Structure 1
Amino acid sequence: MPERQRVTHDKRRFSSGSSLVSLVLATLAIAGCVKHAPAAGPPATAAGASEIDLETSRTLFADAIKDEEAQNWAGAREKLQRAGAIKMTPSIRFHIALCEEQLKYPCEALNDYIAAVNQARDNEDSEVLLASIDGLGRLASRLQVLKTFSPTAAGHIGVQCQPHGDDTMEKLRAEAEARQEEGVKRHTVGDVAGAWLAFKQAYTIYPSPKILWNLALSELDTGRNLDAARHLHTYAALKDPSVTQEKKKVASKRLAEARKKLGGILVEAAQGSKISVDEEPLPQGYEDGDLIELDPGHHVVVAELGTLRQERSIKVKLGKVTKVAMDDLTKTKPPEQAKSALK
């Protein structure tokens, strides 16, 4: 995406794209939050629900989560819809969408993720909001939004969709630019939390180096130092022509800022080992011997190579590098520059 303008705030530079608004999330941003009645799913009937009904809803939700864990998506969805008929919460709506995504009902899932975003914004439920945004991002790569209706007097939005079309990527790019434009505007007026959310949306919809850069800086602004470090690490490792050596130098300086508030580990294991920390794989851009940034505290590191697997429990200290040797796997010496990364 070509860079069209620069906006400077608090000595940090954010790049802005066009103001095109073409897909669902842009419409959701109108007037802050837009209520949505999805095409599928039960209506919310919270008003007048008795305590017995609410307890039934809670039981159904708990049983549905067990079904999800057993990958019984159809059974989970049915119970969630019954629970939602009593009291539709953002969490119930999100799990309905998740089940529909797994059941290959993409259009229904799209509508329910949108509804979950709206309801979570109303309820200031950030966890469900971000999970729903991630769900939308997954679906966006497989769906083409054909028509987005403007909000009615009741604030309802309807969406029609069909399988992936040739112009999907262009629409996703335009929507990501719209979210990025919003992030730049919010950052300019000092709304760093709103800017971060907009950049998070943009990067979920359409990852690009420019959006990744803006997201990483907004994470620094909002104290999300680990996320910022991971994204800056990824940015500096990109082989995209737009990421020049000069930009990589700036990214490295900002990465050093984030690392001052973190700890890190160096894993010594066989080359090509699959490394995970706290059951999460390493983000894109990390290679053998790289310093892995972590929040201070206890962590579990796992190295896997073929049928070999080794696990280590470690304690990471602020500003310190901890070596993690996987003795059961052939060691490779980490590069010297990684050892001093936190100094």
Structure 2
Amino acid sequence: MPSPHFQLPLSRRGFLMASAGAGVALGLSSVPAQAGGARPFGRYGSPAARLDATTLYVDARGRGDHTTVQAAVNAVTAAGWTLVIAPGTYRETVSVDATRTDLTWLGAGDDPRDVVIVFDNAAGTPKPDGSGTYGTTGSATTTVRADGFTARRITFANDWLRADHPGITGTQAVALKVMGDRSAFHDCRFLGHQDTLYADTTSLTVLARQYFADCYIEGDVDFVFGRATAVFEHCHFRTLTRTDLAAAPYGFVFAPSTAAANPYGYLVTDGRVTSQAPDAYYKLARPWVPSSDTTARPMLTVRETWLGPGIDAVSPYANMSASYPWQNQRFAEYRNSGPGAEITVAENRPQLTRAQAASATRAAYLGDWRPWREEC
């Protein structure tokens, strides 16, 4: 939950007193249209206007500084800027290059469902200029390469659907690809199907620490993947049903591709995994060893997390390639609960010892960066 001490910066033009717009319907939830009339733009606005030269206001209806998120990003001229984004649906692709560091995006609604950034490219979608297809990285609705990025109360979505494009085989469709170090997401939502959240780095030799707190992430195939050092704390992962498949497995929640030299991959702590699909139709994870890094040793630790019946408790892990069996990677659990966490075959579920668990913490993964101490 956002802290009562956190306040949105205010616009000198009454930006925070805007009429509510039409509802948004994406993923599992919808936002109903509001009744007419003005309402405060966010719960935590101060009654006094605050003039801030490093704050930009985004509103699709023209009541701010820019009508698109990308235009506001392009207007950022130095480190440490803030974008306050009005409730609404922003159908666009957005890219934050490496020069725009320490950028903060604040959703000005009461809930992350109020501010939605969405597009519908897939890996196999042809580019308009005829130069080929987008590929997985190019499919991303939002791409963040800069260090020090923070987002609060925003939905990142890719609403491309297999059923609408039966001729496309490249079905990866990324909602967010984030590659910067010290990237934090508080109370955000990530909606998609295959490859929803790409938590990655800019290159094999670069460390990227990322923190996701109180977030919601949904998808079906490898919908949290990449080689970042990422901590997911108090997050809800939801596996979707599929109409194009009749039998298990429907897909996989995690597909880390951690570099072998990196001692920390993905850490999931105090979370939950629920499902729309039939029981045991999903695997918890499979290792991704990409052709660009055949020495990768994917790492995933899931601890003190509730795993629902959608996860196959007997065999929760699978191989992406027979050449890189999951047993040779760095997969482990600790004190998980729920029907998807039952240990029926011990060798199928590696467990941390108490001593090992003492080192599998957010502080160990993120080092001298402490994003959870910030007011959010």
TM-score, normalised relative to structure 1: 0.32
Report which of the two structures shows the higher radius of gyration computed on alpha carbons: 1
TM-score, normalised relative to structure 2: 0.30
- Structure showing the higher helix proportion among its residues: 1
- Structure showing the higher strand proportion among its residues: 2
